[in-house]
Every structure is written in structure tokens, then in C-alpha cells.
Amino acid sequence: MNPMDVVFELFEELPRQGPGSAEATRRALACVPDLPDDAVILDAGCGTGAQTLVLAQGTKGRVLAVDQHESFVAKLTQQAADAGLHERILPLRADMTRLPFPEGCFDLIWSEGAIYTIGLRTGLKGWRRLLKPRGSLVFSELSWLVDAPPAEAAAFWSTAYPAMQTVERNRAIALEEGYRVVTQFQLPDEGWWQSYYEPMLVRLPVLRERYASDPVALQLLAEQEREIDIYRRYSQSFGYVFYVLQRQNDRVWRTSGIHRRVVGFEETN
């Protein structure tokens, strides 16, 4: 058996595969500028699609929901049908680093708790060209809320997510990659517990019993429990942050000091 099976078994049964909430999705959606009524939206790394359903309910547009894990996509297909949204939600199994879409085709790209899997810069760079000229990108990302986090939290995340940055640094990276930062806000505490850690705490003992003779699976489950413990004790120092960005006009971006510093002014003239 593949040791990662236990991870998928754990996550498939949860209402969502990362921290978040319908309220937070709606709040971020309300901040998106210039969104047309018939918006074409990409939900990148949709998981089983908790936020996909909210996006479809909150707009009149079409949502293309992409994930590389087959059973997540299948679950979303079923949920979209159950909610009567199958005509406006199009689930697709695909790798979000190699999306088969033409340039400039999306009004909005959404990615809750998933951009980290491909790297923040990779996501920002690759998705920018898929956006229409005034298109927006909304993503949520685990971020440091303080400059000097407690040693135990820093040690845990230095292994679990070494690329984690502060909110200020993520804003700066967004500017460097050709976006304007419309706003950002922190996911409230309930968004970690209600649809994520609480159901996970119910599920963990069941899986521990099922995988009792598999030390690798038990280790993976123990790491999840440790993450919950770290969040419980150090949630003042890190959190999930929603970033609402709008694609910067190419000419403005290219002639900005930021672009000169990042790519070299000569290359763009």
C-alpha cells in the first residue's frame, strides 16, 4: 500500500482539505474588483470543492475547478450535481502547473490553500498570463503574522512548510510578479476548526486503528496531530491569509521600479 493512501483517506472524508469557510470565501469574493456578471473563473487546487460551490452560488459565472486528485474531482462532480450547479461548475482533473488554457481567458483565478503546493512565485507567474487584462487572483496562504515567531512554531514550520513568508513579504512578491494588492485579511479562528481540524480530530482515531500495524501511516497521522497542537498553542504567530490581487497593466508593471529590479530593465525594453 502507498503510504500516502492514509493521507488521502483522511482528507477525502473532510468537508474541506484545508482551513477555510464559506464566510471567508464570500468576503474575499466581495472584494474582487471589476468582476463581470458572466465571469469565467478558475478554481485551482479545488479539492472536493467546498469553495467552488460558494463561488458558483455567489456569481452567475462558470467555474472551472481543477485538481490533480481523481477522487476529489469525482466528489465535487457529485456535489455540484446535488446542488443543481452542474451546468456552471466544470470539474477537471489536471495539473495546475500545466493548465491547457489559452492566455487571457479567466476573469478570476481562485486558489484556497493550494498555491503553496506549486510555490507562490510559480503560481503567481504561471497564472498571470491566464488572466484577462483586469482579471483578479485570490489565494489563501499560510503566512507568518509576526517577524519573530516562537521557537517551537518556527521549528515545526521550518520542516512542514519552509517557504512560509510574512504577510508583508507575500504582498511584495505579488507586486514583483505584476499584481496590485487590492486587500488582504486573515481567516478567523473558526475557519481552522469547524470544517477542518474538528472533523479531522474525529477521523484520526479511526484511521489510527485501521493502520495500527503500519508505522509509516501512523507517523503521518501523528504529524497531523502535531500540526493541530502547534496551531492550538501558537495561532497568534501564524495564520491563513486571503490575498485579493488584480493583474497589473503590463506597461505600468514593466516600467515600474519593481519590474526593473526583478527582471532587469534592459530585457523589457
Q: Residue numbers of the site for ligand SAM (CB under 6 A)? A: 16-18, 20, 45-47, 50-51, 66-69, 72, 95-97, 112-114, 117-118
Nearer of residues 55 and 248 to ligand SAM, judged by Cβ: 55
- Residue type (1 letter), 254: R
Q: How far is the CB of 252 from ligand SAM (least distance, A)?
A: 30
Nearer of residues 96 and 245 to ligand SAM, judged by Cβ: 96
CB 168 within 8 A of CB 241: no
Q: How far is the CB of 200 from ligand SAM (least distance, A)?
A: 12
Distance CA 46, CA 42 (A): 9
DSSP assignment of 208-238 equals HHHTTT-HHHHHHHHHHHHHHHHHHHHTTTE
- Listed in sequence order, the DSSP H helices in the chain are 5-12, 22-30, 50-58, 70-82, 120-128, 151-160, 167-176, 190-192, 198-210, 215-234, 250-255, 257-263
Nearer of residues 72 and 242 to ligand SAM, judged by Cβ: 72
Nearer of residues 17 and 237 to ligand SAM, judged by Cβ: 17
Q: Is 169 helix (H, G, I), strand (E, B) or coil?
A: helix
Nearer of residues 226 and 261 to ligand SAM, judged by Cβ: 226
